[in-house]
Structure 1
Amino acid sequence: MPSDTFHIGGDHQVGRLAFGAMRLPTQPVQARAASIALLRHAVERRVTLIDTAHMYGWGANEELLAEALHPYPADLLITTKVGVVRPHPDHPGELDGRPDTLRTQVDDALRRLRLERIELLQLHRIDPNVPPADQIETLRLLRNDGKIGHIGLSEVTASELDAARDIVDIASVQNRYSLLDREHEPVLRACEAAGIAFLPWRPVAAASEASPELRALAAEVGATPTQLWLAWLLAHSPVMVPIPGTADLNHLEENLGARDIGLTDAHLRRLDLAGAGSIGVPQ
């Protein structure tokens, strides 16, 4: 049986099924109250890592987490991301990895999350218009200043990960990955070799459109397709920490139920075959 915990950065023990807060509405008042209730329920159900970002509501999602959960339980790890800006309200956002931007966004996140230190701070994307080393070095200096505990990256290649690790220790990688979307398999294997947490986003992509064969396998193990996708991720790699997100309490419970799904070697072989064609193929 795979372990149900992982030590991020070697010291922060978290449950291996986490929560992505991106989908949570922050307004109107009734929807915000429901989001707060869902976050509190997730923590009650032993979720110990919650992922957010400056980009999610341009700070509003971080403020929501603080309102719902501060003062935070001792075992709860809040991770946020920086490096995306919105030039004006009608703009969807663009990458900005300039050192001054990263420093400002880290300071803003500390204030919104009501933290003295962000234990896991991730670079949302590497900005192609700024030397990557400058972006990673900025985060290293912020860590030296005590504002960051550990540093993570998002949507990187294996070579970008290697280059970043030449500058500073990397504790996590957050790339798109699921049963049927394995473009980043080489990055996952690099994370395994280095003991780096791999936080797949869109971890249940296409589960609602599962083939008859996969639906039959889900029924065979007493799971929904969504639970099957998550259980496969947990069994596929010991460094995997999926961050499925939802604003629906029933869907949250469905996701958490994946922790109790047991997959045999035969099940895993069938699932590996089902998704083998997606390895190396962009989705």
Structure 2
Amino acid sequence: MTQAARRQLGTGGPVVAPIGLGFMSFRTGAGPDDETAATALVDAAIDLGVTLFDTADVYGPEFSEILLGRAIRGRRDALVIATKFGNTLDRDTNPRKLDARPEYVRTAIEGSLRRLGIDHVDLYYLHRVDPAVPIEDTVGALAELVDEGKVRYLGLSEPGPQTLRRAHAVHPISAIQNEWSLFTRDVEDTVPLARELGIGIVPYSPLGRGWLSGSVRTPADVSETHRKHPRFADDAFERNRTLADGVAAVAAEIGVRPSQVALAWVLSRGDDVVPIPGTRHVEFLRENVGALEVTLTDEQSGRLDAIAAQVAGHRSIRPENLGTEAPTVRVSSV
């Protein structure tokens, strides 16, 4: 990836490579094998020009931040490190409660900085809007962290449009992180406002939780993390596999991988869009970055555009994480 290809998140926000790396896959432990895999992946990502690395305190919890911190040691200054807070970290509670109280904001950032081994976070997201806390109070506390140099830019994950506007009125929001893929497009209700306010978009799960990778043919191919997701349920599986086959057909026409077509479609949504596909494997990382070389024709884009309306199964599995204006399809990225 070249400097010319970089994209800016928000007006005056961080400038990053067009594809980032989501680190949620590193959440099962922080032992030697995990550290070796994480370091190899980060090394390869940096070599490929990736600059945005995204994690959250709740991934594990804590393991993902710990491993990313170890992997970036000595190279942190050239990178944009993003993490998220807003879920309590009790390992015995699942689903975990939301907590966006101002006093918790400070507790959360101190923990993330310690685990990451850095003195500031470049992009700090509220992971989910807490309906019990006015967004103005949470963002006001986050603004204090910016003033203190502990955070450079602020973000929100899965906000509704009105919440986003209220938050941005307190302190500039540089990015929203929402699920966005050929299978999930409800963020497009919020994108116009984000662009009006000068806010970048960071899509998570741009590969449809594996459906768009081309690797899911039978239920046995579904990762353990996603087996309970409604879009892999028995009554949805065959229909969604047929839709994924449509993506694979476009990929075959171009001579690339289905995942590269899916990512190329997301990248084509605008130069303020920076997807963060996650993986533990260097080969898939290389494949994902290769999507930057894929160009879709208008006819191919049209065929792909029609897919979302036909997807079987909604994406909501964590309704307790919804903000007060969130649609019922909202789901946690945890």
Alignment-mate amino acid for residue 246 of structure 1? T
Question: What is the aligned partner in structure 2 of residue 215 from structure 1?
Answer: 248
What are the residue-to-residue correspondences of 1:76-91 with 2, within 5 Å? 76-87=79-90, 89-91=91-93
**1:224-263 correspondence to structure 2 within 5 Å:** 224-263=257-296
Mark the CA change 1:4 to 1:274 in structure 2 (over 3 Å): closer, same or farther: farther
* Equivalent in the alignment of 1:183: 186
TM-score between the two structures when normalised by the length of structure 2:
0.78
Cα distance between partner residues in 2 of 1:238 and 1:193: 14
Name the structure 2 match of 1:282: 329
Deviation by residue 1:77-118 (Cα, 9 ceiling, x = unmatched):
00011111134x321222111111110111121222222221
Aligned pairs for 1:101-120 (under 5 A) are 101-120=104-123
Return the match for 2:35 from 27, 32, 35.
Answer: 32
1: CA distance between counterparts of 2:92 and 2:288? 34
- Counterpart CA distance in 2 for 1:263 and 1:65 is 34
Letter in 1 for 2:41: L
* One-letter identity of the residue aligned with 1:53: A
Quick check: 2:9–2:201 contact (8 Å CA) kept in 1?
Answer: no
1:127-146, CA deviations, whole angstroms, 9 ceiling, x for partnerless residues?
11222211111111111222
- Deviation, 1:276, is 4.8
**Alpha-carbon deviation of 1:193?**
2.7
Q: Give runs of aligned pairs for residues 61-76 of structure 1, distance below 5 A.
A: 61-76=64-79
Q: Is the 8 A contact 2:55 2:64 kept in 1?
A: yes
Residue number in structure 2 paired with 1:7:
8
Deviation at 1:11, TM superposition (A): 4.7
TM-score by length of 1: 0.92
Structure 1: gaps spanning 5 or more residues:
none
Counterpart residue type for residue 303 of structure 2: R
Distance in 2 between residues matched to 1:81 and 1:212, nearest whole Å: 34
Q: Deviations over 1:2-52 (max 9, x none)?
A: x73212342522111110001025444223211211111111111110001
Instruction: Name the CA distance, whole Å, in 2 between partners of 1:78 and 1:33.
Output: 20
Q: Structure 1 residues 69-78 or 125-134, which shifts more? A: 69-78
Residue 144 of structure 2 aligns with an amino acid whose one-letter code is L
**Pair 1:49-2:82 in alignment:** no
Greater Cα offset, 205-214 or 15-24: 205-214
Aligned amino acid, residue 7 of structure 2: F
Consecutive unaligned residues of structure 2, counting only runs of 5 or more, are 215-240, 312-326
Distance 1:254 1:114 in 2: 30
**Contact 2:13/2:153 (<8 A) preserved:** no
1:130 to 2:177 alignment: no
Specify the SS of the correspondent of 2:291: helix
**Structure 1 residue 74: Cα displacement:** 3.5
**What pairs with 1:137-148 in structure 2 (closer than 5 Å)?**
137-148=140-151
Amino acid at match of 2:272: V
Separation of aligned partners in 1, 2:100 and 2:114: 20
- Between the aligned partners of 2:190 and 2:291, the Cα distance in structure 1 is 24
Helix, strand or coil: the match of 1:22? Answer: coil
In the superposition, relative to structure 1, how do residues 8 and 211 fare at CA in structure 2: closer, same or farther (>3 Å)? closer
Q: Superposition RMSD on alpha carbons, in Å?
A: 2.1
Runs of 4+ that moved beyond 4 A? none
Question: Among the aligned pairs, what percent are the same residue?
Answer: 34
Contact 2:55 2:82 in 1 (8 A): yes
Secondary structure of 2:306's counterpart equals: helix
The CA distance in 1 between the partners of 2:178 and 2:154, in whole Å, is 15
Give the CA deviation at 1:277.
5.3
Rounded to whole Å, the distance in 2 between the matches of 1:157 and 1:247 is: 31
Q: For residues 40 and 29 of structure 1, what CA distance do their matches in structure 2 show? A: 16
Say which is worse superposed, 150-159 or 89-98, in terms of deviation: 89-98
Once the two structures are superposed, residues 131-166 of structure 1 have per-residue CA deviations (whole angstroms, 9 ceiling, x without a partner) of: 221111111111122211110000111111111111
AA of the residue aligned to 2:5:
D
**SS across alignment from 1:199:** strand
Q: Is 1:270 the equivalent of 2:317?
A: no
Q: Aligned to 1:184, what secondary structure does the other structure show?
A: helix
CA distance in 2, matches of 1:256, 1:105: 32
